[in-house]
Amino acid sequence: MKFSNSLNVLLLGSGGREHAFARKIAESPSVAKLFIAPGNAGTAQCGTNVDINPNNFGSVKQFVLSNNINLVVVGPEEPLVRGIYDFFCEDSQISNIPVIGPSALGARLEGSKEFAKDFMTRHGIPTARYRSFTKKNVEEAYAFLETLQAPYVLKADGLAAGKGVVIAQTMEEADAALRDMLLDDKFGHGKVVVEDWLEGPEFSFMCFVDRRRVYPMALAQDHKRAYDGDEGPNTGGMGAYSPLPFVTGEDERYALERIMQPVADAMCAEGCPFTGVLYGGLMKTRDGIKVIEFNARFGDPETEVVLPRLKSDIVEIFSAVADGWELEHPLEWHDFSTVGVVLASKGYPGSYAKGAVIEGLDEVDGAVYHMGTASKEGRIVTAGGRVAIVVCAAPTLGEALEKCNREVGKVRCDNLFHRTDIGRKAIK
């Protein structure tokens, strides 16, 4: 692909992350046409939505060929883990069209907890001590649990949409989780990783990776629990903010030099170079920074607070990563802070109703990224668990939080709730 002024881009996905991408991609002077498959009511304002399932690679290929697409950007993990990158590389009709994302082998860093943990051990990347078990050695799993102290951390292997991790407070809960994961095989992979419980603030470190070249992005912190004060069940993420006052420049250097760069190098050494975006879910523990998980893609909702701070042209970055040339400058960032508050359907992450009318979105002084919405008879209605995220920018985090809380109040809908303390802990 040549970095030119007339690129046609296909973006795969349909969440808030993709809406934030779509807006950023559409801003690039090098983009002629932007298509989003399948997109949502928000992405439709930045480009053309097309009704294609990103996991249906045959349909993606047809669309790419008939619309002269020059670049494919992948949002969600599933097409990556299923091998969309490899599908393009192996088909001579489309092998010249770059896909931003890793190969299926690269995506194992996210797709298999066991692979990720073994990989980290092989390469001395700091992470919690662990052992993995299958149905065959379930007795050993119980015995291993007995050697640990509560809380117990159990992770089902494979993609589980954020639901595969159990932090059990008692041995009874740990037993029940083991039964679910191994004996009842609720997650379909029949493998479980049991690891030490770590303590400390978590942060998300996303980097563009082009084999050995690693370009770090601004840091963000997600809020996974449903309710204020980090109470309630785990969700896909109820809000995020950037930058992070509790992570020092030294911490960031350590994370880059001891974690992210060594992962890129080690993937090359193992014969499966990583390209795309590597997401380190890191924790600042008393014993240093450790890896909680890797993702092989942008985070959601981290992307919605990080991309508005990116000054550089994202399409130029994608082109560099896709074509293997080195960017002349490090990525440039705006100094302001961003806070994003997710509006979720009442009941989420459990069951919830759809179809409630949302008003006031265009009154918000800030960005509104759609996550789970639909258009119905000219109105925007709820169509998912996480419905939209309101992102506000201000010179300081405190001001951004205050503004975001005020602006969120302008969104009117009977069936939504949100947190009011996103980023609060970081404000002195």
Binding site for ligand AMP (CB under 6 A): 128, 153, 155, 165, 167, 195-198, 202, 224, 281, 292-293
Query: Would you put residue 113 in left (φ > 0), alpha (ψ -120 to 50) or beta?
Result: alpha
Instruction: Name the amino acid, one letter, at 146.
Output: E
Closest separation between CB of residue 103 and ligand AMP, Å? 22
Choose between 157 and 195: whose C-beta lies nearer to ligand AMP: 195
Closest separation between CB of residue 147 and ligand GLY, Å? 30
Neighbours of 115 (CB within 10 A): 17
* Contact (CB, 8 A) for 279 and 205: yes
DSSP letters, 207-239, are EEEETTEEEEPPPBEE--EEEGGGEEEE-S-SE
Choose between 157 and 302: whose C-beta lies nearer to ligand GLY: 302
Distance from C-alpha of 183 to C-alpha of 131, rounded to nearest angstrom: 17
Give yes or no for residue 302 binding ligand GLY (CB under 6 A): yes
Choose between 30 and 204: whose C-beta lies nearer to ligand AMP: 204
Give yes or no for residue 237 binding ligand GLY (CB under 6 A): yes
Q: Which does residue 165 touch among ligand AMP, ligand GLY, none (CB within 5 to 8 A, set by kind)?
A: ligand AMP
Distance from C-alpha of 191 to C-alpha of 135, rounded to nearest angstrom: 7
Beta pairing class for 288-295 and 225-227: unpaired
Distance from C-alpha of 419 to C-alpha of 30, rounded to nearest angstrom: 38
The token pair that represents 361 in the structure block = 């979105």
Closest separation between CB of residue 83 and ligand AMP, Å? 22
- Residue list 206-225, contact with ligand GLY (CB under 6 A): 222
Closest separation between CB of residue 162 and ligand AMP, Å? 6
Beta pairing class for 31-38 and 48-49: parallel
* Phi, psi for residue 2 in degrees, rounded to 5: -100, 135
Closest separation between CB of residue 294 and ligand AMP, Å? 9
The token pair that represents 53 in the structure block = 């399932």
Neighbours of 58 (CB within 10 A): 9
Give yes or no for residue 42 binding ligand GLY (CB under 6 A): no
Distance from C-alpha of 216 to C-alpha of 256, rounded to nearest angstrom: 7
Closest separation between CB of residue 12 and ligand AMP, Å? 22
Give the one residue of 300, 304, 313, 407 binding ligand GLY; rule: CB under 6 A: 300
Q: Which does residue 299 touch among ligand GLY, ligand AMP, none (CB within 5 to 8 A, set by kind)?
A: ligand GLY
Choose between 237 and 423: whose C-beta lies nearer to ligand GLY: 237
Choose between 240 and 368: whose C-beta lies nearer to ligand GLY: 240
Closest separation between CB of residue 295 and ligand GLY, Å? 5
Choose between 368 and 422: whose C-beta lies nearer to ligand AMP: 422
Choose between 9 and 283: whose C-beta lies nearer to ligand AMP: 283
Residue span binding ligand GLY (CB under 6 A) among the ranges 6-14, 118-126, 258-266, 295-303: 295-303
Residue 236 Cα distances to 7, 325, 383, 424, angstroms: 32, 34, 16, 19
Distance from C-alpha of 305 to C-alpha of 342, rounded to nearest angstrom: 11
Choose between 43 and 221: whose C-beta lies nearer to ligand GLY: 221
- For ligand GLY, the binding residues (CB under 6 A) are 222, 237, 295, 299-300, 302
